[in-house]
Amino acid sequence: MNMNKLNKGPSHNFLNLPAKNLSVTSLTQHLPLPVAIIGMGVTGQATLDLLLACHIPRNEILTFDEKTSADFSDPSTLISRKPKTLCISPGISLKKDWIVQALAEGAKLTSELALAFSLLEDETVIAITGSVGKSTTTSILGEAAKVVDSHCFVGGNLGTTLAQYVCQNITGPNRTKYLVLELSSYQLE
């Protein structure tokens, strides 16, 4: 699944990552640096951890949040560093003037999901979205998948992020067969 095709909003400079099987070492070849993580909530922190686990140098990762601890809290200072990739957390509007400016200047756009999906291997992804019943449906499907694969991962917007799953299993043999993900509309923007 190419997460970049899920956007239904205005056209942007999406970072074109392989849908799956991107090696940790080749991520740096596909990810223009520096990368700015916009929003340092749960998703932003998981994205930072994932990039560090992929050996992206910390000095090539810029974090931004107006409310919580981050490298930058002022958008103009962040933009002055000329990030080449913006990794936008769910709920951050792509219509903010400074984000529009960075994209107009050639920055590429990605998300935690796009980065994490590109590092999956043979996992089968079952993604649930919609306005009502996502958590219940995700939990029920997760329990059903656990009958076939006791290590089934259930998460996304429900509990553990996809980036956390990838980060925990990036080099180990603990990959699961099924990933059951709850995805909010904000994650799919």
- In the chain the beta strands, taken as DSSP E runs, fall at 35-38, 61-64, 85-88, 108-110, 124-128, 153-156, 178-182
CA 143, distance to chain mean position in Å, is 24
| pLDDT tier for residue 4 given thresholds of 50, 70 and 90 | very low
Task: Tell me what pLDDT residue 2 has.
Answer: 40
So what's the pLDDT on residue 1? 39
So what's the pLDDT on residue 12? Answer: 58
Strand order, beta sheet including 61-64: 61-64, 35-38, 85-88, 108-110
* Confidence band of 189 (pLDDT split at 50, 70, 90): low
pLDDT band at 23; cut points 50, 70, 90: confident
pTM: 0.85
- Tens digits of per-residue pLDDT, 91-128? 899 999 999 999 999 999 999 999 998 888 888 999 99
